[in-house]
Amino acid sequence: MEPQALFNCRELIKRCTGEDYSLELLRSMPVSPTCGSLILIPTGIESQQALKENLIHGILWVMRLDAHTVRILTILVAEDHRGQGHATEAWNRFRRLAIDEGVGSVTLEVRQENEIAFDFYSRRGLVALGRLSNYYRDTFGIVMHGPLKAEDA
């Protein structure tokens, strides 16, 4: 990813989560090239143009843990684009790509107070496995895991 595009993703992550990652950390994230790098941009705009012009409305980044499991590194939608089904659309696209690659399960961490995200993942079959202290700067993380179903409820 071009430096300006990576910077724009960093700023979106900071606005949405409060987490401030270095560009080097983002650059070194082990994002899966086949099922793990989805960027939400406006319809009708070329991806490179959208990235350069900071028209990034959401991100879903995934890494492979093994042949059958992926870990979601980040999934977020900019505040002014929430409630429009973008997270569901991104999830469905990710799920189809991952299943096509032989992936059967997914794991992730979510802030314990993020009830909207927790419900989103629960509706897709993920269950809470445990709580991580000091995972996020200011709160606990909840580890969730579950199957990638061909169709979600």
Q: Note whether 43 and 22 are within 8 A (CB).
A: no
Domain that holds residue 107: 3-147
Question: Is residue 14 in some structural domain?
Answer: yes
Question: Is residue 153 in some structural domain?
Answer: no
Q: How many domains does the chain have?
A: 1
pTM of the model: 0.85
Question: Is residue 152 in some structural domain?
Answer: no
Which amino acid is residue 41, in one-letter code? I
Question: Is residue 100 in some structural domain?
Answer: yes
Q: For 31-67, how does the pLDDT look when each residue is reduced to its tens digit (9 = 90+)? A: 988 777 888 888 888 888 888 888 889 999 999 999 9
CATH code, domain carrying 13:
3.40.630.30
C-alpha span between 19 and 11 (Å, rounded): 9
Question: Is 32 strand, coil or helix?
Answer: coil
Q: For 98-115, how does the pLDDT look when each residue is reduced to its tens digit (9 = 90+)? A: 999 999 999 999 988 889
User: DSSP E strands: which ranges in the chain?
Assistant: 37-40, 58-66, 69-77, 105-111, 127-132, 141-147
